[in-house]
Structure 1
C-alpha cells in the first residue's frame, strides 16, 4: 500500500477506482455511495447535502489516520484536517466563481465568450458558482431570462454571448508552474429540459482540427492558474476558434474515458504532479466512450447490475428508487475507432436499459 487517502466530494467513484488501481487504500465520502464504490474503498460515508460534507469529513478522520486528502466536486474549498493533495484553496477559490474566471481568461487574452451587453439576446446564462453545467441555459429574450432567474432566486449569474460549436475538454496535469495536456475529449451534454447543458458523458480522444490549439490554450491557462494535479479545461470547438469556457480544478468526469483510451492512471499522474513531476506526452491506443443514463420515469431498480461490470460503473444498489430525470448509472464502450467505440456503447446501453424498468 502506497498510503491511505481520503477522497471527498459529491461523486468520488471514478477517483477512488483510479486510486485503488494505483495501489492506495481509499476511504470515501460521497453523495451516492453506489455499489461499486465499495469495491475500491475500505470505508465510506454517504451524505445528503453539501452542507453535511465537513461533518462527514471530520467523522471519517476520527476513524482513520490519513496520509492525505483529495477534493472532488463540491469539496474544493473545504478545509481538510489532513494534508490536501491538489490545488491549494487560495488558488481554487477564484476558479469557482465564473465572473472571476471570466476576468482571468480576459487578462490572459485567450478566446472566451464575451459578457453580453444589457438587453442583448440570445445569451448563455450561468450561475456564478456550480459545476457540471446543470443550470446553464441559452435564453432568447427578457421574458425567458426573468423566468429562468426565478427558478434560482438570489443566486448571482453571468450573461455571456452564446458560443456555438462542439463541447469539448482538455484533461491536464500540472505541478503549479507547468502543465501537460493528456487528452482532448468530446463532451456529451444532456441536451434536453432544464439540464440541457449538464454533462452526461465523453468520447476520448476527440479528433478535431482545433485539438492542437485547444491543447496549447489549455497548457497556457493551467500553467498560469497555479493549479496542481489533475484538472480540466472546458471548451466549445467553434467553426474556426476554440472558445475557453471554464477551468475545473479537480478530477474530471472524463477520467474513465481518458484512462481507457490512453492506458494511464490519472491518480498516479496527480500524485506525481503534486510532487513536482508531470508526465511525458502520450498517445491513445483506442477510443473510449461513456454515457450517463437517466431515468425516463419514476421506478425502483429491482435487479442487481453488478454482473454487467465493467461495461457499467456507478452501479446502484438493488431496491434504489429513482425519480424521472435522475442519473441511474453510466455505461461505456471501447473500440479501435470512434465509430466502433460508439457502436459498442450503444449496444451496451441497449442491454442496460432492459433492467431500467
Structure 2
C-alpha cells in the first residue's frame, strides 16, 4: 500500500475508487455511503448536513492515522486535522464564490458571459455559492426573478447574459504555477422544469473543433489560479468559447475520464500537489465513455440490490433506502469505440437498469 488516505466530502465514491486503484488504503466521510463506496474503503462514516462534516472528520481522525486527506465538493474549506493533499482553503475560497470567480476571469481578460444589466431579460441566475448547478435558472421577467429569489431567501446571486452552446469541461492537473490538461469532456445537464442545469453526467472525450482552444485556455487559467492537483474548468462551447468556472477539486467527470484515457486521476492529483506535472501518453483513439445519473420521478424505496449490475452501474443505494422525488438513484455507464456506440451502450444499459427497477 502507498499509504492511508482520508477522502471527505458530500460524495466521495468516485475519488475513493480512484485512490484504491492507485494503491492507497482509503477511509471516507460521505453523505451517501452507497454500497459500492464500501468496496473501495476500509471504513465509511456518513454525515447528514454539511454542518456535520467537520465533526465527522475530526472523529475519524481521532481513531485512525492518515498520511493525508483529499477533499471533494462541500469540504474544500474544512479545517484539516491531517495534511491536505490539495489546494489550501485560503486559495480555494475565491473559486467557491461565483462573483469573485467572475472578477478573476475579468482580470485575466478571458471570454466569459457578461454580467447582465439590471432589468434586462432573459437572464441567467446562479447563487454565488454552491456546486452542481442545481439552483441555476433562466428567468424571463422580474416576476420570475422574484419567484426564484423566494426559493433561496437571502442568498446572494450573480446575473449573467445568456450565451448559447454546449456545457463542457477540461480536466486539468496543476502544480501551483503550471497546468496540463488530461481530457476534454462534454457535460450532461439534467434538463426539465426544475434543476435543469444540474450536473447529471459526462461524455469523455468531447469531440469539438474548439477542443484545442479549450485546453489552451484551461491550462492558462488553472496555472494563474495557483491551484494544485485535480482542477476542472467549465465552459459553454458554441460559435464562441465562454469560461464558466473553476472547480479546485476532483470533479464529477472522474469516472469517464479514467475510462476513456486509462489514466489514474488520483495518482496524477498527488503528483500535481507534489509539484510534478504528468507527462501524459497520447490519447488512445476509439475509447469513449459516458455516465448518466438516473433520478427518481417520484418517491421510491429501494427494494432490490443493484450490485449485480456492476460495472455498468455505480453509486449503488442500499436496499431499504428511501429516495425522494427528484433524488439521484444510481449512475449508469456506457462505453464504445465511437461516441455513437458509447451512447448506444448507455441507452441499452439504462433499459437494463430500469427494467430491473420496475420490479420494485
The bucket for the TM-score relative to the shorter chain is over 0.9
**CA deviation string 1:82-107 (max 9, x = no partner):** 00000111110000000000000000
**CA deviation string 1:187-211 (max 9, x = no partner):** 0000112200000000000000111
Match of 1:178?
178
* Secondary structure of the structure 1 residue equivalent to 2:308: helix
What TM-score, normalized to structure 2?
0.98
* Secondary structure of the structure 1 residue equivalent to 2:213: helix
What's the CA shift for 1:31?
0.4
Match of 1:93?
93
**CA deviation string 1:306-345 (max 9, x = no partner):** 0110110001111111121100000001000000000000
**CA deviation string 1:7-51 (max 9, x = no partner):** 000000000000000000000000000000000000010001000
* Secondary structure of the structure 1 residue equivalent to 2:246: strand
**CA deviation string 1:239-291 (max 9, x = no partner):** 2x110000000000000000000000000000111111111243144000000
Structure 1 runs of 4+ with >4 Å offset: none
1:314 aligns with 2:315: yes
Q: Distance in 1 between matches of 2:251 and 2:357?
A: 26
What TM-score, normalized to structure 1?
0.99
What's the CA shift for 1:63?
1.2
Q: Distance in 2 between matches of 1:158 and 1:355?
A: 42
Match of 2:83?
83
**Which consecutive residues of structure 1, in runs of 5 or more, have no partner in the other structure?**
none
Match of 2:15?
15
Match of 2:276?
277
Match of 1:266?
265
Match of 2:57?
57
Match of 2:231?
231
Paired residues, number: 356
**Aligned alpha-carbon RMSD (Å):** 0.8
On the 8 A contact 1:295/1:356 being kept in 2, the answer is: no
Q: Distance in 2 between matches of 1:46 and 1:206?
A: 34
Q: Distance in 2 between matches of 1:4 and 1:142?
A: 52
Match of 1:326?
327
**CA deviation string 1:208-256 (max 9, x = no partner):** 01111111000000000000000100000012x1100000000000000
Q: Distance in 1 between matches of 2:184 and 2:296?
A: 29
On the 8 A contact 1:292/1:331 being kept in 2, the answer is: yes
